[in-house]
């Protein structure tokens, strides 16, 4: 590789820092404790091109998800005020604690499994922090401030006016992202309605959007890589998820050391040197400012930029690529790669159990949740000299994405019937409604003050839920009635029951 001494000096200036000193606490701190601003040199190569393609695919997916419907329901909607979460068109209600817990556990175990096999592939390729920082905000910064390691284009680049425009561009992108983010919580229809109205009509939504915009500006304009280094818990967790065979970005010291620049004509010395010419490009391109040649470090987000930088150097030197590469500590030590390891088997087994339970519960979910609750007040009333009634509330939650009508009927002892103004109700999609009815049976049906009946709730598509209910009536002890007040005959047709 031909490289002028001045260029060498500039690269070294960027790469040499307190970060490379053994005494450094954090790669982004100067020795006096001040912030060391990262201005990573861009590296072109196969990994950055692949990451750019993945990043833009993810950005498009993140932007369009709120607009996508599955069977009339949003693909993803996190309605926090009503505690209804729609995932892939399936709405989870507050009753669905077990389903939500299984879903969250499955996600966590998937992260464990993927990390144990592929290292921090999420950090380097899929995390929104990396995706937006490296492929949206960093290119904007380079456009207005100039590209590190390259000559500035014109006098405007890097000027005060350019800095102002850079922050205007940051603001516009952050504002757009905040609106997209808000759409995940309020739905795209409501968001589109809000943006055409005065903020005073929806102050909470406007406040959330403004706060999110401000947080994004703070993050991508100022905090940046500090999120990965000091704020993100995943970076801290990785050490317990890794083993020697996890895929990581590694430097091959056997091939690279002893590092150093060869001298022209000094063949004996050059033969002894490793392939690393100590150019510092792998450090200069690192967005977290570390030197991968020091081994696996918590700050490494496995973005592979150092691989591209080093591959370019090796290509120029006419040496094989891969001095820095994806690999594992075991591979570097000459051990055979092994995919099936105890932790991979354990994580996979746990994940299989969780997913099986989740799918089983989802498949067996009923189209509605039904509750039959004893109404407040007197436990029973004399309807006539020969009949006794119990007031109950029938609550139906329509889980489907269509408006549905549900009717209530009673069966049991001969003469059992309903007394109500209405025995049917129309329930909107993913909404709940209550109907008050009186269950009436002949006095003769009561044995020791109790009569067993069945309340049936019927709906569309053959929905038919039969709920046993114990009525109280003449002959019941007052105490028994009291007891039964607490013994609400509730049947929750949730997935838990299946
Ligand atoms: S590892 Fe590669 S990029 Fe890094 S200093 Fe050595 S030769 Fe340069
Ligand atoms: S060491 Fe390499 S892979 Fe790790 S963060 Fe720096 S550039 Fe990315």
Is residue 339 situated within a structural domain?
Answer: no
Q: Using pLDDT thresholds of 50, 70 and 90, give the confidence band for residue 497.
A: very low
Alpha-carbon distance of 340 to 101, in angstroms, equals: 28
Mean pLDDT of 64-78: 89
pLDDT at 300: 92
Contact criterion met (CB below 8 Å) for 202 and 210: no
- Which of 160, 165, 172 shows the shortest CA–CA distance to 217? 172
C-alpha 173 – ligand 1 centre gap (Å): 35
Q: Is 271 exposed, middle or buried (0-12, 13-18, 19+ CB in 10 A)?
A: exposed
Nearest CA to ligand 2 atom 4: 300
Nearest CA to ligand 2 atom 6: 286
Q: Using pLDDT thresholds of 50, 70 and 90, give the confidence band for residue 362.
A: confident
Q: Which two tokens stand for residue 215?
A: 């947080």
Kindly write down the DSSP assignment for every residue of 103-154, as one continuous string: HHHHHHHHHHHHHHHHSSHIIIII-HHHHHIIIIIHHHHHHHH--TTS---T
Alpha-carbon separation of residue 244 from 190, 241, 335, 481 (angstroms): 50, 10, 10, 66
Residues of the chain with pLDDT > 90, as a percent, come to: 58
Q: Which two tokens stand for residue 96?
A: 């669905």
| Cis peptide bond prior to 258, omega within 30° of 0 | yes
Same-domain status, 327 and 224: yes
Alpha-carbon distance of 1 to 280, in angstroms, equals: 13
- Cβ(323) – ligand 1 distance below 6 Å: yes
- Cβ(243) – ligand 1 distance below 6 Å: no
pLDDT at 298: 85
Same-domain status, 232 and 292: yes
Same-domain status, 182 and 267: yes
Alpha-carbon distance of 247 to 256, in angstroms, equals: 20
pLDDT at 13: 38
Pocket test for ligand 1, best of 250, 254, 289, 310 (most atoms within 8 A of CB): 310
Is residue 459 situated within a structural domain?
Answer: yes
Is residue 10 situated within a structural domain?
Answer: no
Question: How far, rounded to the nearest angstrom, does the alpha carbon of residue 411 sit from its chain's CA centroid?
Answer: 48
Same-domain status, 302 and 221: yes
Same-domain status, 269 and 210: yes
pLDDT at 269: 56
Nearest CA to ligand 2 atom 7: 286
Is residue 67 situated within a structural domain?
Answer: yes
**Which bound ligand lies closest to the C-alpha atom of 134?**
2
Q: Which domain holds residue 420?
A: 368-481
Mean pLDDT of the chain: 86
Max distance between CA atoms of the chain, in angstroms, equals: 119
Alpha-carbon separation of residue 149 from 146, 210, 219, 232, 489 (angstroms): 9, 36, 25, 30, 74
pLDDT of 240-287, one tens digit each? 788 888 899 999 999 998 898 766 555 555 567 889 999 999 999 999
pLDDT at 262: 65
Q: Using pLDDT thresholds of 50, 70 and 90, give the confidence band for residue 10.
A: very low
Select from 305, 332, 359 the last residue of a domain.
332
Contact criterion met (CB below 8 Å) for 472 and 488: no
C-alpha 376 – ligand 1 centre gap (Å): 77
Q: Which two tokens stand for residue 222?
A: 């100022």
Collapse the DSSP code of 222 into the 3-class scheme (helix H, G, I; strand E, B; otherwise coil) and give the result. helix
pLDDT at 21: 44
pLDDT at 158: 84
Query: Is the CA virtual torsion 230, 236, 238, 244 positive or negative?
Result: positive
pLDDT at 266: 58
C-alpha 299 – ligand 1 centre gap (Å): 18
pLDDT at 477: 54
C-alpha 99 – ligand 1 centre gap (Å): 49
Alpha-carbon distance of 485 to 91, in angstroms, equals: 32
- Cβ(79) – ligand 1 distance below 6 Å: no
Same-domain status, 375 and 431: yes
The pTM assigned to this predicted structure is 0.77
Q: Using pLDDT thresholds of 50, 70 and 90, give the confidence band for residue 488.
A: very low
Pocket test for ligand 2, best of 302, 324, 326 (most atoms within 8 A of CB): 302
C-alpha 47 – ligand 1 centre gap (Å): 16
Q: Is 289 left (phi over 0), alpha (psi -120 to 50) or beta?
A: left
**Which bound ligand lies closest to the C-alpha atom of 305?**
2
Contact criterion met (CB below 8 Å) for 67 and 188: yes
Q: Which of 98-107, 387-396, 410-419, 488-497 has the lowest mean pLDDT?
A: 488-497
The single-letter DSSP state of residue 430 is T
Nearest CA to ligand 1 atom 1: 276
Select from 332, 356, 385 the last residue of a domain.
332
Pocket test for ligand 2, best of 304, 312, 326 (most atoms within 8 A of CB): 304
Residues of the chain with pLDDT > 70, as a percent, come to: 88
pLDDT of 284-338, one tens digit each? 999 999 999 998 888 899 999 999 999 999 999 999 999 999 999 888 888 887 7
398 sits in which H/E element: strand 387-398
- Cβ(249) – ligand 1 distance below 6 Å: no
Q: Which two tokens stand for residue 230?
A: 């000091």
Alpha-carbon distance of 412 to 34, in angstroms, equals: 80
Q: Which two tokens stand for residue 149?
A: 């390691």
Same-domain status, 58 and 169: yes
CATH number of the domain encompassing residue 404: 2.60.40.10
C-alpha 328 – ligand 2 centre gap (Å): 15
- Cβ(279) – ligand 1 distance below 6 Å: yes
pLDDT of 469-485, one tens digit each? 999 987 765 444 444 44
pLDDT at 97: 82
Same-domain status, 286 and 400: no
Is residue 487 situated within a structural domain?
Answer: no
Number of C-beta neighbours around residue 99 at 10 A: 22
pLDDT at 263: 61
Is residue 13 situated within a structural domain?
Answer: no
Nearest CA to ligand 2 atom 5: 300
Is residue 12 situated within a structural domain?
Answer: no
Q: Which two tokens stand for residue 25?
A: 């606490």
Give residue ranges with CB within 6 A of ligand 2: 249, 285-288, 290, 292, 300-306
Question: How far, rounded to the nearest angstrom, does the alpha carbon of residue 283 sit from its chain's CA centroid?
Answer: 31
C-alpha 31 – ligand 1 centre gap (Å): 24
Collapse the DSSP code of 260 into the 3-class scheme (helix H, G, I; strand E, B; otherwise coil) and give the result. coil
pLDDT of 155-213, one tens digit each? 888 889 999 999 999 999 999 999 999 999 999 999 999 999 999 999 999 999 999 99
Alpha-carbon distance of 158 to 403, in angstroms, equals: 59
pLDDT at 24: 57
Nearest CA to ligand 1 atom 4: 282
pLDDT at 210: 96
- Which of 165, 108, 111 shows the shortest CA–CA distance to 141? 165
Same-domain status, 168 and 301: yes
Characterize the bridge pairing of strands 387-398 and 368-374: antiparallel
Same-domain status, 311 and 426: no
Report the atom number in ligand 1 closest to the C-alpha of 275.
7
Is residue 422 situated within a structural domain?
Answer: yes
Same-domain status, 263 and 393: no
How many distinct structural domains can be found in the chain? 2
**Which bound ligand lies closest to the C-alpha atom of 289?**
2
Same-domain status, 183 and 47: yes
pLDDT at 337: 74
């Amino acid at each position: 590789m031909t490289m002028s001494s001045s260029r060498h000096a500039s690269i070294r200036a960027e790469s040499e820092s307190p970060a490379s000193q053994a005494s450094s606490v954090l790669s982004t701190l100067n020795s006096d404790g001040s912030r060391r601003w990262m201005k990573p040199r861009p590296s072109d190569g196969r990994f950055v091109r692949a990451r750019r393609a993945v990043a833009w695919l993810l950005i498009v997916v993140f932007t369009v998800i709120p607009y996508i419907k599955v069977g009339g329901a949003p693909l993803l909607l996190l309605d926090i005020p009503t505690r209804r979460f729609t995932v892939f068109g399936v709405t989870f209600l507050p009753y669905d604690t077990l389903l939500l817990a299984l879903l969250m556990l499955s996600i966590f175990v998937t992260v464990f499994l993927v990390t144990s096999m592929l290292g921090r592939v999420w950090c380097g390729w899929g995390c929104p922090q990396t995706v937006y920082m490296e492929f949206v905000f960093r290119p904007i910064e380079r456009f207005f401030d100039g590209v590190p390691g390259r000559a500035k284009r014109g006098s405007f680049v890097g000027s005060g006016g350019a800095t102002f425009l850079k922050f205007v561009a940051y603001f516009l992108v952050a504002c757009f992202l905040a609106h997209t983010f808000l759409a995940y919580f309020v739905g795209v229809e409501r968001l589109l309605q809000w943006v055409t109205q005065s903020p005073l009509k929806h102050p909470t939504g406007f406040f959330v959007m403004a706060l999110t915009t401000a947080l994004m500006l703070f993050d991508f304009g100022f905090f940046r890589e500090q999120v990965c280094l000091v704020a993100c818990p995943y970076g801290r967790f990785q050490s317990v998820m890794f083993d020697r065979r996890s895929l990581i970005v590694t430097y091959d010291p056997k091939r690279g050391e002893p590092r150093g620049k060869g001298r022209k004509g000094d063949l004996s010395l050059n033969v002894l040197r490793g392939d690393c010419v100590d150019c510092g490009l792998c450090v200069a391109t690192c967005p977290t400012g570390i030197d991968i040649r020091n081994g696996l470090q918590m700050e490494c987000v496995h973005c592979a930029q150092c691989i591209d930088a080093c591959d370019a150097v090796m290509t120029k030197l006419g040496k094989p690529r891969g001095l820095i590469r994806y690999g594992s500590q075991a591979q570097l030590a000459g051990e055979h790669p092994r995919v099936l390891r105890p932790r991979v088997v354990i994580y996979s087994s746990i994940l299989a159990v969780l997913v099986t339970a989740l799918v089983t519960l989802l498949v067996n979910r009923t189209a509605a949740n039904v509750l039959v609750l004893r109404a407040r007040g007197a436990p029973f009333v004399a309807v006539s000299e020969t009949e006794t009634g119990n007031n109950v509330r029938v609550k139906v939650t329509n889980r489907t994405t269509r408006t549905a009508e549900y009717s209530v009927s009673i069966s049991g002892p001969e003469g059992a019937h309903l007394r109500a103004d209405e025995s049917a109700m129309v329930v909107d999609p993913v909404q709940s409604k209550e109907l008050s009815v009186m269950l009436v049976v002949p006095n003769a049906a009561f044995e020791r003050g109790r009569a067993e009946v069945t309340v049936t709730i019927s709906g569309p598509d053959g929905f038919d839920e039969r709920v046993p209910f114990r009525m109280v009536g003449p002959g019941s002890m007052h105490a028994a009635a009291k007891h039964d007040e607490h013994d609400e005959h509730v049947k929750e047709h949730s997935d838990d029951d299946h």
